[in-house]
Amino acid sequence: MSTKKLITIIGPTAVGKTALSIAFAKAYKTHIISCDSRQFFKEMTIGTAVPEPEELAAAPHHFIQNLSIHDSYSVGDFERDALSTLAGLFATNDVVIMVGGSALYEKAVTHGLDEFPDVPDEVIDTLNNELEQDGLDKLVTELKEIDPEYALTADLENPRRVIRALSVYRASGKTYSSFLGRKKTERDFEVIKVGLEAPRPTLYDRINQRVDVMLENGLLEEARELLPYKNLTPLKTVGYQELFPYFEGDYGLDEAIRLIKRNSRRFAKRQMTWYRKDPEVNWFSYNTSHTEIVRRVEELFMEPK
């Protein structure tokens, strides 16, 4: 068994992962890798709940606002870059922390990406044309019909994810979900998964409060500046995509806020559906003290000092 350990902290949005990751980083005097794909982009700060400056200063962080929304960056790119960063960090650290709510990005690092069939360009082109002509809702309906298992966990507000799943089905005749979990790539470090959970009413209250704080901190102004770039993939994100129609007069601010909160809650539900399928996660209540969680993980997994 490797002496190098990656402690990955997962859970739904607004459950308290950032604070716990800092507690672990301080306990082991180590670095934090973010696998939150929404926090990669320097133009998106408030709406993605980027850690506060004092939080970023509490431990060295990687993959926080390291890209522009104009950059092309895939989960495969992240797997490559994160593994390279980990190799460097493990040269001087026995433990590294990873945290974030992007389940696919976390899985890419811990287990490797699944292998999917090649999809002809014309299939993608056809789906993009259907998206432009008929809208995303129609594609989502089709995905739910042909692959309800994947639709339960997919980010259905993200056109790229929906088109990817449909393209695999149209090209191969097999569902996207049927290709998931076939392959696990062995890593040269041990993975310890720590999950935070909260009762649904509590979590939903925390999400609603977080949205209110984002608005107080200037989310409207941040999103308004990004309106010219609304069609870029990074901006197909909860917190921004609901505000763009408001700016364009499609509905009022109250409706935009309602949609942000609703879609954030739906996102959290999908996150938990995904994470609950992973038997490797060690779950803790959101209100367990950080000291207690660090102690329990050390007792269970760490070598005697």
Q: Is 237 among the annotated ligand-binding positions?
A: no
List C-alpha distances in Å: 263 to 6, 66, 237, 252, 257: 31, 26, 10, 17, 10
Q: Is 15 among the annotated ligand-binding positions?
A: yes
Sheet holding 5-10, edge to edge: 61-62, 32-34, 95-99, 5-10, 190-197, 281-285
Residue 124: beta bridge partners? none
Q: Is 18 among the annotated ligand-binding positions?
A: yes
Q: How far apart are CA 282 and CA 65, in angstroms?
A: 29
In the DSSP assignment, the letter for residue 94 is S
Q: What is the pLDDT of residue 183?
A: 67
Q: Is 245 among the annotated ligand-binding positions?
A: no
Residue pair 224/32 in contact by the 8 Å Cβ criterion = no
Q: Is 195 among the annotated ligand-binding positions?
A: no
Q: Is 14 among the annotated ligand-binding positions?
A: yes
Query: Which residue matches tokens 């929304």?
Result: 69
Per-residue pLDDT 10s for the chain (305 aa) are: 578 999 999 999 999 999 999 999 999 999 999 999 999 999 999 999 999 999 999 999 999 999 999 998 989 999 999 999 999 999 999 999 999 999 989 999 999 988 888 888 888 889 988 998 999 999 999 999 999 999 988 888 889 889 999 999 998 999 998 988 776 788 999 999 999 999 999 999 999 999 999 999 999 999 999 999 998 989 989 999 999 999 999 999 999 999 999 999 999 998 998 899 899 999 999 999 999 999 999 998 876 54
What tokens does 134 get?
């008929």
CATH (residue range 121-179): 1.10.20.140
Q: What is the pLDDT of residue 239?
A: 96
Q: Is 27 among the annotated ligand-binding positions?
A: no
Handedness of CA 143, 145, 146, 147 (dihedral sign): positive
Q: What is the pLDDT of residue 194?
A: 98
Fold classification of 5-114+181-301 is Rossmann fold (3.40.50)
Residue pair 38/10 in contact by the 8 Å Cβ criterion = no
Pairing between strand 5-10 and 61-62? unpaired
Domain ranges of the chain: 5-114+181-301, 121-179
Q: Is 13 among the annotated ligand-binding positions?
A: yes
Q: How far apart are CA 17 and CA 195, in angstroms?
A: 8
